[in-house]
Amino acid sequence: MSTVQNHRLVITDFLARARDMFGDKQVIDHVDGTETLRYDYRTYADRVARLASALVAAGVRPGDRVGTLAWNHHRHLELYLAVPLAGAVLHTINLRLEPDEIDYIVDHADDTMIFADPSLEHLLAAVKRRRPSMPIQLIDDGYENLIATHEPLVEPVPRAETDLAALCYTSGTTGAPKGVGYAHRSLYLHTMVAGLADGHAVSERDRALVVVPMFHANAWGVPFAALMTGADLVLPGPHPTPAAIATLIDRHRITYTGMVPTVAADLVAHARSSGLDLSSLRALVLGGSPPPAELIRALDALGVPVFQGWGMTEISPMATFARPPAAADDDLDSRIRYIRKQGRLLPGLQWRLLADDGTDAPHDGMTSGEVLIRGPWVATEYFRDPHPEAFVDGWLRTGDIGVIDDHGYLEIVDRAKDLIKSGGEWISSVALESALLSSPGVVDAAVVAAPHPRWQERPVAYLVGDGIDLDKVRAHLTGSVPRWWMPERFVIVDALPRTSVGKLDKRSLRGRAVEDLADDTALSDPPTSRS
C-alpha cells in the first residue's frame, strides 16, 4: 500500500503558484505590435478570482460549459483560469469558423454562456437565433464591471481531478468538428511535460510570445505552462502579422514562441528586410506541417534554434518533440534531418505502429504503419459523440502514417487519408511535397490525389512561387523521387488554401484536382514502380 498522499491534480493550483511564487512576472498585451497593457501575476490572480466570483454569481454551475470567442489578450488569459476556478469548463471557440459552424459547436457543447470580443460578436448571429436567451458577455467595459463589482472568490469551486476543465473542438477537416474534453488531471500532467528540458522546456527564465491562437488546443498549452513555471507572457492581440511578431521578439527579447511554418517563413523575410533581431529566441517551435530544410537554415542564420512539435487536439495537443540528439550539436545538416522529423515521444505516452494487416510494425526507420497513441492526456472518445472507430483497445488512432527509427524518432510520411494509391502502389504526398519544396522557385507546395481511369489515382501538385520553371521542377524531381511519383499535373497558384489553424486544406484541393485533371486532353501513363 502506498504511503504517499493522493493529492488531486487540478489546474486551478497554477493560479496560486503564479501569484505566490512569481508575483512580479509580467503579462503584456499588444494591438498591432503596440503595447497596450502590462500587469503582474499578482494582479492577474486577483482579477481571475474576481471574475470567477462573478461567474458563480451569474449562475454558472460546476460542469457548465462557458464559451470564449476571443483573440490572444490578457482578458482571454483571465478566462483560462477563471472559468475552471468557478467549477465550469472552458470552451475556446474557433473564431475563424463561419457563424453556422460556430452555432453547431456551441449547440453541441451546450454552452451556458459566451464571452466574446466586440469585434467578433457578428460571428454569433446564428447562435443568437438558436439561443436568444443565452447570455453573451462582451469583453469590454461590461467585462471590467464584472471584475470591479465582485470580491475575489476565496476558494476554487471543488472539482475532482477527473472532472472536465476545458473543451476544444477539432477543425472539422474530415467532417463535423468533434469535441475533446480535457480533465484537470490530464491538463496538469500535460503542462508539467511542457517544462521538461528535452521538450519545450518552458521555465521562469522565459518570456513567451503566444502566437498560436488561444482557441487552438489551448495555444498548445503554453499559457498554462507559463503560469505554472513563472514565465512572462506576451500576447499579440488580434491579427498578429509577421511584422508585428518580429517587432515583439526584438523589443521584448522573447525567448520562446511557436507557430506554423508558413508564418515562420514570412517572419524570416521580414526580419531580413527590417534588420530586426530574433536571436533572443532559444526556441522557435514549429507545428502543423514539417518545416522545409531551407526555412530551418534561414532561421539558423538569424541565430534562432528551431524545433518541431507534433500532436493533435486529441492529445491535448503535445505528443512528440524534435530535439536533435547531443551528437548532432555541431552538424547543422544532421540537426536539420532530426528537426524535420516529428521527434521522440514525450514521457508518459506510449505508441505503436499498426500495419495494414493489423500487426505491429517494427521500429526500424523503414517500415510504416498508422501511429496509435495512449497516455494520461490522450482522448478515449469524443465529447458527446464517441466515434468508436477512432479508438481501439484503449489506443487513439491518429490517422497519421509514420515510421519510427531505433532511437525513437518518429517521421510522419503521410496522413492515411492523403496517401495516393497509383497502380497498386502507395505514393506519399508528404514526401513528394518535401521534394517539391526543395525545387527551384517553389515556396509552398501541396500534393493531392485525383481519380485516374487506369491507375486508380494520380498525384496533382499545386505550387506557389514567382517565376517557377516547371521543366526545372520536373528535372529536380527526377533525381529526388521514384519516376512513377511524378505528378500528373502541376498547377501554379497564388496561395494554397489552409484551415483555420494553418494546416493545408487538402479536402478543398482534392475537389479542385478532379476538375484540373479533367481539363487535360490526354492522361499520361506513369512508369510502374518496377521500371
Does residue 310 contact residue 217 with C-beta atoms inside 8 Å? Answer: no
- Minimum mean pLDDT range among 136-150, 497-511, 514-528: 514-528
pLDDT at 173: 55
Instruction: Please say if the pLDDT value at position 1 is more than 50.
Output: yes
The whole-number average pLDDT for the span 28-57 is: 97
First vs last C-alpha separation in the chain? 65
pLDDT at 312: 93
The whole-number average pLDDT for the span 55-68 is: 98
Instruction: Please say if the pLDDT value at position 303 is more than 80.
Output: yes
- Provide the percentage of residues in the chain whose pLDDT is more than 70: 96
Give the C-alpha distances (Å, rounded to integers) separating 335 from 66, 269, 327: 43, 22, 9
Going by pLDDT thresholds of 50, 70 and 90, the confidence category of residue 172 is: low
Half-sphere exposure of 39 (CA within 13 A, CB side): 16
H/E stretch holding 182: strand 179-183
What interhelical angle do 261-274 and 242-252 show, nearest 10? 70
pLDDT at 524: 42
Spatial distance between the Cα atoms of 505 and 446, rounded to a whole number of angstroms: 9
How many CB atoms are closer than 10 A to CB 64? 18
Going by pLDDT thresholds of 50, 70 and 90, the confidence category of residue 200 is: very high
The whole-number average pLDDT for the span 6-22 is: 97
pLDDT at 528: 42
3-state SS record for 299-332: HHHCCCCEEEEEECHHHCCEEEEECCCHHHCCCH
Instruction: Please say if the pLDDT value at position 525 is more than 50.
Output: no
The whole-number average pLDDT for the span 77-90 is: 98
The pLDDT tens digits for 203-256 are: 999 999 999 999 999 999 999 999 999 999 999 999 999 999 999 999 999 999
Whether 1-193+211-231 shares its CATH topology with 419-518 is answered no
Closest by CA to 365, choosing from 311, 319, 406, is 406
The pLDDT tens digits for 401-424 are: 999 999 999 999 888 788 888 876
Fill in the amino acid letter for 107: D
Going by pLDDT thresholds of 50, 70 and 90, the confidence category of residue 507 is: confident
The pLDDT tens digits for 266-275 are: 999 999 999 9
Q: Higher model confidence: residue 104 or residue 98? A: 104
Highest mean pLDDT among 174-188, 208-222, 285-299: 208-222
Q: 0.75 cut: is pTM over it? A: yes
Whether CATH 3.40.250.10 fits 1-193+211-231: no
Residues 6+ apart with CB under 8 A from 269: 242
The whole-number average pLDDT for the span 150-154 is: 97
pLDDT at 444: 92
Q: Reduce the DSSP state of residue 116 to 3 states and report it.
A: strand
User: Among all chains, which residue has been given the C-alpha cell 460578436?
Assistant: 121
Output the average pLDDT for the chain: 93
H/E stretch holding 207: strand 207-209
Going by pLDDT thresholds of 50, 70 and 90, the confidence category of residue 287 is: very high
Going by pLDDT thresholds of 50, 70 and 90, the confidence category of residue 199 is: very high
Does residue 124 contact residue 136 with C-beta atoms inside 8 Å? Answer: yes
Instruction: Please say if the pLDDT value at position 481 is more than 90.
Output: no
DSSP string for 380-443: SS-TT---GGGEETTEEEEEEEEEE-TTSEEEEEEEGGG-EEETTEEE-HHHHHHHHHTSTT-S
- Residue-range domain boundaries for the chain: 1-193+211-231, 419-518
The whole-number average pLDDT for the span 313-331 is: 95
Spatial distance between the Cα atoms of 173 and 510, rounded to a whole number of angstroms: 12
Does residue 106 contact residue 215 with C-beta atoms inside 8 Å? Answer: no
Instruction: Please say if the pLDDT value at position 503 is more than 90.
Output: no
pLDDT at 152: 98
The whole-number average pLDDT for the span 154-164 is: 97
The whole-number average pLDDT for the span 433-460 is: 90
Cα torsion angle, 134, 239, 443, 306, sign: negative
Q: Reduce the DSSP state of residue 345 to 3 states and report it.
A: strand
What interhelical angle do 429-437 and 470-478 show, nearest 10? 120
Going by pLDDT thresholds of 50, 70 and 90, the confidence category of residue 493 is: very high
Spatial distance between the Cα atoms of 94 and 171, rounded to a whole number of angstroms: 8
Fill in the amino acid letter for 94: N
> Given the DSSP bridges, would you call strands 26-31 and 232-235 parallel, antiparallel or unpaired?
parallel
Catalogue the active-site residues: 170, 314, 421, 426
The whole-number average pLDDT for the span 285-305 is: 93
Does residue 222 contact residue 202 with C-beta atoms inside 8 Å? Answer: yes
Instruction: Please say if the pLDDT value at position 427 is more than 80.
Output: yes
pLDDT at 80: 98
Going by pLDDT thresholds of 50, 70 and 90, the confidence category of residue 317 is: very high
Does residue 402 contact residue 373 with C-beta atoms inside 8 Å? Answer: no
CATH topology of domain 419-518: GMP Synthetase; Chain A, domain 3 (3.30.300)
Backbone angles phi, psi at 15, to 5 degrees: -65, -50
